[in-house]
Amino acid sequence: MKNLRRKALATASALVLGAGLAAVAGSPATGGATGAESTFLVLAPQGGKADLAVARVAAADGTVVANYHQIGVMVVRSANPDFVTDVAGAGVESVAPTAGLGTVLDEGDTVEMTAAQIAEATGDPTAEPLYGQQWDLPMIDLPRAHAVTTGSPDVVVGVLDSGISSSHPDLATQIAKDKSTSCVGGVVDTAEAAWNPTTSDHGTHVAGTIAAALNGVGVAGVAPGVKVAAVKVVDNELYIYPEAAVCGFIWAAEHGMQLTNNSYYIDPWQLNCRNDARQRPVWQAVQRAIRYAQNKGVLTVAAAGNSNFDLAHKFVDPDSPNNGIPEVRGVNGACVVLPAEAPGVLTVSAVGPTGEKSHYSSYGQGVIDVAAPGGDSRIRTRGATSTTADAILSTTFNTVTRTNGWGWKQGTSMASPHVAGVAALALSAHPGMTPGQLASFLARTAGSKRCPAGRYDPIPLIPTGADFTATCQGGTRNGFYGAGMVNAYDAVK
Ligand SMILES: [Ca+2]
């Protein structure tokens, strides 16, 4: 278990972060106020009463749309341009607007299987017809694990993501509908339509890796006996706002989930962290929510990111400024990457079909806890060709045609749910572990993987000009693989 790590994820989201400034929808102002409404997080002192803060919000022309009293955090909407100064005072520890602090989901490309490919694979009705293409499952020793258990329905994994298709033939029986919700906007909406996918099937793919049914259809999940709950935190513009994440963590904590999978990051790193006075309350709120969930028995599993970035040396951002001179940023504790960086979170790197680090996977000694298959469509052939089948096959939902299917994606987003699935199996076989015990258990039962010697260059034959080299540091616990590849059998035997 790591403790109070600091790291950042340089992500592809940098290019589109600016769009987040406009992504908090304005709605018509009411009560005579002028201007568009904005969303604010208002923090009462931790452990204190929120009554005073509630009164101050009302007096400042704000409306509390969600009150997470457990952690002293309120989601407030207001059209008052002076809301931040007006609400300040006794009983309010801090306040900040969240506009511009959404991070875009690193969704990845989906390559869908064709109907012909699916039909061709359905020759054996006694087995999952597409299982033969799930190279990732033998890699984590899953067949032997399933001989022991496929998981208990008492274990519920919260999928904080873009929703789960409840009409998918491989998922319809796997969803704990009574524990599913949308948290978009920071407000709970349990209508089934609200937590189904709209503009992204990322969460549907993640959910299939965790728990796709053993039903003679499509694919197998890592833990098909457990349940997944959709906790939709990604809005229709693919942004994850802090208020949605706060809502999601509290929801998971209050609905008996033992695990959440977080294949996204709330990442201020690409923003100006030096002027963080405005951001600090936002990250404090998210960290309170994560801590609360952990204290309620929820293990947070998170993806490391897809930037081939050394998270152990994040204090130097190689991309900023662009004059070739790395700048040491004035990052402090309010500027952390969440959820991956919060204490107690299990952080996952990705490997491809050879078992080597995926070319995109971020890494870092003391940061990565375990590794799992995330796919690498460019590694098996050492760069000669890009091979879709070297990505991860799971459940998909075409958001244009509104149809369910199966297809490939790759990323640490795909690695993290393998770990969540193994964790769910471990809890099924060995109930009662605390989040900390479970995290340690997964690390202890992982198959240690040594660092490659020298400078790692996964795709030397590709003349793309892109640099995917990396240097792995550490011994049996190292920056590429953490404690090693999760092993489902060793986690249940
Ligand atoms: Ca299936």
Which residues lie across from 157 on neighbouring strands? Answer: 228, 259
**Cα–Cα dist 13/107, whole Å:** 10
Q: What is the DSSP letter of 471?
A: E
Higher pLDDT, 40 or 267: 40
Write b or e for each residue in 65-87: b if 16 or more Cβ atoms lie within 10 A of its Cβ, otherwise e.
ebbbeebbbbbbbbbbeebbebb
Cβ atoms < 10 Å from Cβ of 219: 24
Mean pLDDT of 13-34: 33
Average pLDDT of span 412-437: 98
Could you tell me which of 304, 295, 158, 170 has the C-alpha nearest to residue 231? 158
Ligand 1: centre distance to CA 170 (Å): 5
Q: What is the mean pLDDT of residues 205-211?
A: 98
Interacting residues of 441 by C-beta distance below 8 A, sequence separation 6+:
426, 430, 433, 491
User: How much distance in Å is there from the Cα of 119 to the middle of ligand 1?
Assistant: 14
Kindly compute the dihedral angle of the four CA atoms of residues 449, 454, 460, 463, in this order, to the nearest 10 degrees: 130
Amino acid identity of 436?
A: G
In which band, very low, low, confident or very high, does the pLDDT at 462 lie, cut at 50, 70 and 90? low
CA of residue 213 to ligand 1 center, whole Å: 4
Tell how far the Cα of 201 is from the centroid of ligand 1, in angstroms: 17
Query: What confidence score (pLDDT) does residue 19 get?
Result: 26
More confident residue, 417 or 459: 417
Average pLDDT over residues 136-159: 97
Q: How far is the CA of 394 from the centre of ligand 1 (A)?
A: 9
- Angstrom distance (rounded) from CA 225 to CA 150: 5
Whole-number average pLDDT of the chain: 85
Give 389 Cα–ligand 1 centroid separation in angstroms: 18
Cα–ligand 1 centroid distance for 214 (angstroms): 5
Query: 344-396 pLDDT, tens per residue?
Result: 899 999 999 999 999 999 999 988 999 999 999 876 665 667 788 899 999 99
Q: Could you give the residue ranges of the DSSP H alpha helices within 325-411?
A: none
> What's the gap in Å between 212 CA and the centre of ligand 1?
5
What's the CA-to-centroid distance between 395 and ligand 1, angstroms?
A: 9
Residue 492 CA to ligand 1 center (angstroms) comes to 21
Sketch out the chain's domains with CATH numbers: 33-97 (3.30.70.80), 111-492 (3.40.50.200)
Using 50, 70 and 90 to split pLDDT, how confident is the model at 124?
low
Tokens of 16: 């589109």
Burial class (CB in 10 A: 0-12, 13-18, 19+), 197: buried
Tokens of 445: 């039962």
Instruction: Determine the pLDDT at residue 330.
Output: 43
pTM, 2 dp: 0.89
The arithmetic mean of pLDDT across residues 402-423, rounded, is 97
219 CA distance to ligand 1 middle (Å): 4
Least confident of 118-122, 166-170, 326-330: 326-330
C-alpha 174 to ligand 1 mean position (Å): 10
pLDDT band for position 265 (cuts 50, 70, 90): confident
Instruction: Say how many Å lie between the CA of residue 313 and the centre of ligand 1.
Output: 41
Strand-pair partners of 471: 455
Determine the distance separating the centroid of ligand 1 and the alpha carbon of 208, expressed in angstroms: 9
- Measured in Å, residue 9 CA sits from the centre of ligand 1 at 34
Q: How many A from CA of 218 to the centre of ligand 1?
A: 4
What's the mean pLDDT in 190-200? 98
Question: How many Å lie between the centroid of ligand 1 and the Cα of residue 128?
Answer: 5
Average confidence (pLDDT) over 23-34 = 38
Distance 449 CA to ligand 1 centre (A): 30
Separation of CA 211 and ligand 1 centre (Å):
9
Rounded alpha-carbon distances, angstroms, from residue 202 to 144, 194, 207, 210: 28, 16, 9, 13
pLDDT for the residue 331:
44
How far does residue 138's CA lie from ligand 1's centre (Å)? 16
Band of the pLDDT at 267, cuts 50, 70, 90? low
Percent of the chain with pLDDT over 70: 83
pLDDT digits (tens, 9 = 90+) for 218-263: 999 999 999 999 999 999 999 999 999 999 999 999 999 999 999 9
What pLDDT, in 10s, does the model give residues 37-66?
999 999 999 877 889 999 999 999 999 999
| Cα 424 to ligand 1 centroid, rounded to whole Å | 18
282-320 pLDDT, tens digit per residue, is 888 988 999 999 999 999 999 999 888 888 776 544 444
Higher pLDDT, 111 or 33: 111
SS3 state of residue 282: helix
CA of 222 relative to ligand 1 center, distance in Å: 11
CB 405 within 8 A of CB 412: no
pLDDT at 274 over 90: no
Strand partners, 455: 471
CA–centroid distance, 225 to ligand 1, in Å, is 12
